[in-house]
Chain A
Amino acid sequence: MQNAMTISFNALGENEAFSRVAVASFAAKLNPTVDDLAELKTAVSEAVTNAIIHGYDSNPAGIVYISASIEDGEIDVVIRDEGRGIRNIEEAKEPLFTTKPEMERAGMGFTIMEHFTDKLEIESSTSSGTIVRFKKRLAGKRVNCV
């Protein structure tokens, strides 16, 4: 059976921890490994940070939307903003690429999301904002030690 949840919150840095913990708590019923849960939290944190500092340019009036659903041991997470959008997605995905070097951004957000999830999709437009969607299998990966 499918199970789904949605949350939305202001684009404030202090909400980053809340958002990744909320998604991780929702995913916990799949009994994931500690490493998988850490990877999920990291991917959420990267996408939410991008929405706040790039999408909304750190304007707290912006709203970040997260929806997540679980089906057949897999979590599907959609993180959306209505901010300025990404001009060139392929360029943004390049490791070490950043538009904000003055903020000491590492330019690793999308690289980390790609490595820490099973499937990553990015849709963006400069008129309507950015949607990051990723899937990650969490159940049935535990190795039973005999």
Chain B
Amino acid sequence: MQGRTPSPGRFVFESPEAEPIGSVLYEEHVRLTSKSRMSPFAGYLMPLWYSSITAEHRAVREGAGLFDCTHMGVLEVSGDAAEPFLNAVATNNVARLKVGRAQYSYILDAAGNVLDDIIIYRRGETDFMVVVNAANEPKIKAYFDGLLAGQVVIDTADPNRKMETPTIRDMRDPASGADCRVDIALQGPASIEVLAGLSDDASFVERLRELKGFGLLNESLQDMDCLICRTGYTGAVIGFELFVHPSDAPRLWSAVLEVGAPLGVLPCGLGARDSLRIEAGLPLYGHELAGSFGISPFEAGYGWAVKLDKDFFIGQAEMARVAQSYDMQVARLALPATKGIRPVRPGDPILIGGVCVGWILSSAKVDETQYALAYIDRDGAQEGNEVGAYYLARSPSQVQQGRQEHLDKGQQAEADLTGTVVGRYEKF
């Protein structure tokens, strides 16, 4: 095997191989669905679906859906150095984040590679909660450890640049302290009514209704201390993430399902999580962000979360270059999905005028439409543009019949399916 020379400033992390483990809600899941529907995901055994992907997707759009997000990483960054540390590590402007609010952001390495997309919650002037993707949690913890120890390049142009060093704690680990948190998401129009049913405090529902997007409340729900944030990953206008102690998570989970049953609440698995976020146009790390194409925040459609005018953040020089030069972007496409139409798959080429302009990254069927997030030429990504999709060969026999296994940009092919570019995001 040939060795590869890492580019300067690249953070290289090999995730240790480990058997997947159950989340803190594992016992709840196997009560609600069969073990055969539990699938390894980011080191955890997670439910793919309970009832069906379609029913769970619909529940979130019409009632509400409950998601086990306890596998997501939750890190506390605290102390006087917390704000300057996070402002150097994250691309968005943490100095402008008010107490009781949350902010979407990116963590980059010094070469400008995206290590994760995150949400930073500001609980106090010097107290932050950082929620990272489950799949990236070991990498981000190692990166933060490296930063605290001064072992990671933070500025390729200035090797002497130093980081502030706050206190960082894994909030999912009960051994790390009394205040521990795991994430359970409740998403959909019925969410407020469901949560109201978990509290006797008459003013609680008012506070919930007034909570703006990316706002944070600290409440007691049936004696469980709960951080409630109006954030989510489904495109639902009304939706919350609930952060509780891991030992309270099973009780909160069953309480929400019990109160929510008459209001159309269903537990939702990874399948619906994916179809909801694709329909809404939200990126998934490794697919619409980073991944094999090395997709930048600008290409993903989130240049606004990269504040190039800040004094400094890790990866800033590369982001300034990318902001001026990128020529591909993530677009949301709508393709027909009437019965008998073969679904498109990640990797399938997108054609404009019979010429390959990019490839599908993720796709999901919602009723009679397949929504696809695709990485295509910026020139072709205007809303309303007609696009074609080509099915790559899925099997050796299709190759024998002449179907291509790969198309490069600029190669010609005949479209199997025709659709349109739709708005990048959709709210429900």
Is B one of A's binding partners? no
State the A residues within 8 Å of B (CB): none
State the B residues within 8 Å of A (CB): none
